């Protein structure tokens, strides 16, 4: 009897142990399954010998997302998420759904999962990175570097062209004309110098230390350029202000840029208008975009036909530029999509554009001797740069100009330029597909970027002060001071690339943070060079 009882107790213990092991296995399985999904795609035996197996990684909301992709030039056969730490019930939904959507449609442009945009883009980018590592062209699966629906034309040059004024198109295009004129309502602006006092130190020795105000409506560009306290002796300051100067450069070439400002002012009839984006074409080919600024075509080179016309139209003015030291012509520091990155642009200024043997500078700081690159407004370079999550899906016009319906029920392109955050119809019909709260997301991003930009800018100001004191001390050799100046120059370039870009990270948060991190690291490096 005792033996039977002992046997039953042993069996009970074994059963308890087995039950415990089962529960542990279930727990482990649930943890693992929460962070991985089965392979999406065909069976292993259906994968052809032409396929390659590669891995790709991209940064998600909570950390890196790594995928394994089996593909060749024609098909994606399998997608597997190897590791991720996305939020259960939110990002994890995208982990389960998006790879299947991409495989089913063989389309890298599959819609992001609602409420899980960051994870969706991380998965997409990880898959793209895997394909790129394999040398597989992503265009085969619908993904373009940038959106392309319309190819722009280039304006004729040297033909004695006369500008057809915007008012002359009003009868034929009343809705477009009236909506363009409504940009007069965007008249508010503020002083950056008052809001960010450290700018007076960073821009000391240049006009921006005298007056620097936020941009306002395009209808005020002539008022702004003629009323500014910043000096403008040459006509090149009219580059993005009026079609009258644009046509002058098309007729005269680079010689127009060196004309006197006051002489050209007498020829100005209107601010930016139809001619700048459509030349004199609207009547013959409605909606056709014509690039009237020749330097923009030069700046993208052979990639001209690969960039949507709407992006190029805005990129005629919303770019980083400099005035050529010799001709005074407005010039852009790149010649392709690949050379638009901040790193490549800085390298161009530092090593390729030399003036009297010295790297190009917009001005030299009177107190520190730093040869400063004053970045302008690189919206195109930022939006089309690496890390932009929207460049292959939307153009500038998609977000800042939208179709509208007039009183007759006719659809037209609204030429009132506005922020997407102010366009509730756009948010409801388009943005909400990926963003549950676009306004909240962008406001949080902007707050973070402005705080970080201010922090780095103020540290740069301290660097200027310390360098000024070091020069006055007489304890540093010219070589030591020049080494500090060189690092400080690069630091200010990366900071300025963000400060003047006008989107506070919204166009490309990854590139924005990369620039600020580099600016901060270089500032710290320069600080460490003092004795």
For residue 381, give the CATH number of its domain. Answer: 1.10.1130.10
Contact by Cβ (8 Å): 79, 69? yes
Residue 298 or 141, more confident = 298
Is 67 in a helix, a strand, or coil? Answer: strand
pTM over 0.85: no
Tally of helices (H runs) and strands (E runs) in the chain: 19, 14
**Boundary residue ending a domain (141, 176, 200):** 141
**Same structural domain, 242 and 355:** yes
Does residue 7 have a pLDDT over 80? no
Question: Which sign, positive or negative, has the C-alpha torsion 248, 249, 250, 255?
Answer: positive
pLDDT digits (tens, 9 = 90+) for 470-513: 999 999 999 999 999 999 999 999 999 999 999 999 999 999 99
Say how many Å lie between the first and final Cα of the chain, rounded: 90
Does any domain span residue 362?
yes
Q: Tell me the average pLDDT across 365-370.
A: 96
190/192 Cα distance (integer angstroms):
6
pLDDT digits (tens, 9 = 90+) for 85-114: 988 888 889 899 999 999 999 988 888 887
47/276 Cα distance (integer angstroms):
52
Residues with Cβ within 8 Å of residue 209, at least 6 apart in sequence:
193, 199, 200, 203
Strand partners, 69: 54, 79
Lowest mean pLDDT among 50-59, 141-150, 285-294: 141-150
Does any domain span residue 21?
no
Does any domain span residue 423?
yes
pLDDT digits (tens, 9 = 90+) for 148-167: 888 999 988 876 788 889 99
pLDDT digits (tens, 9 = 90+) for 218-240: 999 999 999 888 888 999 999 99
Does any domain span residue 406?
yes
Contact by Cβ (8 Å): 90, 106? no
pLDDT band (50, 70, 90) for residue 146: confident
Give me the residue label for tokens 């006509």.
235
Does any domain span residue 159?
yes
**Same structural domain, 127 and 176:** no
Residue 267 DSSP class: T
**Same structural domain, 278 and 351:** yes
Does any domain span residue 217?
yes
Quickly count: other Cβ atoms within 10 Å of residue 203's Cβ: 22
Residues with Cβ within 8 Å of residue 346, at least 6 apart in sequence:
373, 490, 493, 494
**Same structural domain, 165 and 133:** no
Is 70 in a helix, a strand, or coil? Answer: strand
pLDDT digits (tens, 9 = 90+) for 250-276: 999 999 999 999 999 999 999 999 999
Lowest mean pLDDT among 36-40, 219-223, 423-427, 429-433: 36-40
Does residue 31 have a pLDDT over 50? no
> How many structural domains comprise the chain?
2
Q: Tell me the average pLDDT across 278-307.
A: 87
In SS3 terms, 266-333 reads as CCCCCCCCHHHHHCCCCCCCCCCCEECCHHHHHHHHHHHHHCCHHHHHHHCCCCCCEECCCCCCEECC
**Same structural domain, 106 and 196:** no
Does any domain span residue 301?
yes
**Same structural domain, 86 and 233:** no
pLDDT digits (tens, 9 = 90+) for 304-334: 999 999 999 999 999 999 999 999 999 999 9
**Same structural domain, 135 and 159:** no
Does any domain span residue 32?
no
**Same structural domain, 94 and 159:** no
514/228 Cα distance (integer angstroms):
33
65/78 Cα distance (integer angstroms):
16
Q: At 133, which CATH number?
A: 3.90.1010
**Same structural domain, 396 and 468:** yes
**Boundary residue ending a domain (79, 110, 141):** 141
- Full domain range(s) for residue 442: 154-527
* Per-residue pLDDT at 426: 94
**Same structural domain, 405 and 340:** yes
**Same structural domain, 207 and 259:** yes
**Same structural domain, 101 and 175:** no
Question: Which sign, positive or negative, has the C-alpha torsion 306, 136, 394, 384?
Answer: negative
311/383 Cα distance (integer angstroms):
9
**Boundary residue ending a domain (141, 175, 206):** 141
* Per-residue pLDDT at 17: 56
Mean pLDDT of the chain: 89
Residue 300 DSSP class: H
Reference 99, options 138, 61, 66, 133; nearest CA is 66
* Per-residue pLDDT at 218: 93
pLDDT band (50, 70, 90) for residue 2: very low
């Amino acid at each position: 009897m005792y033996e039977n009882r002992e046997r039953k107790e042993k069996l009970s213990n074994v059963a308890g142990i087995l039950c415990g092991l089962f529960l542990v296995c279930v727990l482990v399985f649930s943890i693992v399954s929460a962070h991985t999904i089965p392979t999406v795609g065909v069976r292993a035996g259906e994968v052809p010998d032409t396929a390659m197996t590669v891995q790709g990684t991209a940064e998600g909301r909570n950390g890196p997302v790594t995928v394994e992709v089996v593909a060749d030039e024609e098909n994606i056969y399998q997608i597997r998420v190897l590791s991720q730490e996305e939020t259960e019930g939110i990002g994890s939904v995208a982990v389960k759904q998006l790879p299947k959507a991409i495989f089913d449609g063989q389309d890298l442009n599959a819609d992001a999962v609602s409420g899980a945009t960051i994870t969706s883009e991380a998965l997409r980018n990880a898959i793209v990175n895997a394909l790129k590592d394999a040398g597989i062209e992503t265009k085969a699966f619908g993904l373009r570097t940038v959106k392309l629906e319309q190819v722009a034309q280039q304006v004729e040059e040297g033909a004695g062209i006369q500008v057809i004024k915007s008012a002359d198109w009003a009868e034929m295009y009343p809705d477009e004309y009236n909506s363009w004129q409504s940009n007069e309502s965007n008249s508010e602006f503020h002083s950056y110098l008052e809001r960010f006092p450290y700018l007076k130190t960073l821009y000391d020795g240049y006009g921006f230390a005298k007056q620097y105000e936020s941009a306002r409506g395009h209808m005020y560009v002539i008022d702004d350029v003629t009323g500014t306290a910043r000096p403008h002796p040459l006509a090149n300051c009219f580059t993005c202000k009026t079609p009258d100067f644009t046509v002058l450069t098309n007729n005269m070439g680079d010689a127009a840029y060196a004309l006197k400002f006051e002489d050209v002012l007498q020829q100005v009839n209107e601010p930016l208008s139809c001619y700048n984006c459509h030349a004199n074409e609207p009547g013959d080919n409605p909606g056709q975009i014509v690039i009237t600024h020749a330097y923009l075509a030069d700046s993208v080179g052979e990639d001209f036909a690969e960039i949507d016309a709407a992006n190029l139209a805005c990129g005629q003015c919303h770019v980083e530029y400099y005035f050529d030291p010799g001709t005074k012509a407005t010039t852009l520091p790149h010649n392709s999509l690949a050379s638009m990155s901040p790193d490549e642009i800085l390298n161009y200024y530092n090593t390729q554009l030399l003036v009297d043997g010295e790297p190009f500078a917009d001005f030299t700081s009177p107190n520190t001797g730093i040869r400063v690159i004053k970045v302008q407004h690189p919206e195109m370079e930022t939006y089309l740069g690496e890390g932009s999550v929207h460049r292959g899906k939307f153009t500038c016009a998609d977000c800042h100009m939208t179709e509208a319906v007039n009183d007759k029920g006719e659809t037209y392109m609204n030429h009132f330029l506005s922020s997407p955050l102010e366009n509730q119809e756009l948010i409801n019909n388009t943005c909400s597909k990926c963003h549950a709260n676009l306004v909240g997301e962008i406001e949080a991003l902007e707050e973070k970027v402005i705080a970080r930009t201010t922090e780095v800018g103020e540290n740069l100001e301290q660097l200027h002060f310390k360098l000024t004191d070091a020069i006055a001390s007489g304890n540093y050799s010219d070589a030591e001071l020049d080494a500090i100046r060189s690092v400080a120059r690069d630091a200010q370039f990366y900071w300025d690339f963000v400060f003047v870009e006008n989107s506070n990270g919204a166009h490309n948060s990854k590139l924005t943070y990369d620039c600020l991190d580099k600016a901060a690291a270089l500032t710290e490096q320069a600080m460490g060079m003092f004795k």
